[in-house]
Amino acid sequence: MSKTRTWLDGYLTAWKSKDPADVRAIFTDDAEYWFRPDDPDPARGIDAVIEAWLDPEPTEAQPDLQVLVEDDRVGIISGRVEYPGHASYANLWEVHFAPDGRARKFIEWFMTPRKGDGD
Q: What are phi and psi of 62, to 5 degrees?
A: -120, 90
Residue 89, domain member (yes or no): yes
Amino acid at 45: G
**4, 95 Cβ separation under 8 angstroms:** yes
Asked whether the beta carbons of 15 and 4 are under 8 A apart, the reply is no
Query: Strand order of the sheet with strand 103-111?
Result: 43-44, 27-34, 103-111, 87-97, 74-83, 62-70
Supply the range of the domain harboring residue 72: 3-111
Within a domain: residue 118?
A: no
pLDDT for res 85:
86
Q: Is residue 60 part of a domain?
A: yes
Whether 19 is in a domain gets the answer yes
pLDDT band at residue 117 under the 50/70/90 scheme: very low
Answer whether residue 73 is part of any domain: yes
* Number of domains composing the chain: 1
pTM of the model: 0.89
**Lowest model confidence (mean pLDDT) among 33-42, 76-85, 92-101, 108-117:** 108-117
Q: Is residue 119 part of a domain?
A: no
Rounded CA-CA distance 54/22 in Å is 12
pLDDT of 114 higher than 80 = no
d(CA 51, CA 63) in angstroms, rounded, equals: 21
Name, in order, each residue with C-beta under 8 angstroms of 35's C-beta and a sequence gap of 6 or more: 42, 43, 52, 108
Residue 117 inside a domain? The answer is no
Q: What is the CATH number of the domain that holds 57?
A: 3.10.450.50
The verdict on residue 58 lying in a domain is yes
- Closest-CA residue to 43 (of 103, 111, 110, 112): 103
- pLDDT digits over 32-48, tens only? 999 999 999 999 999 99
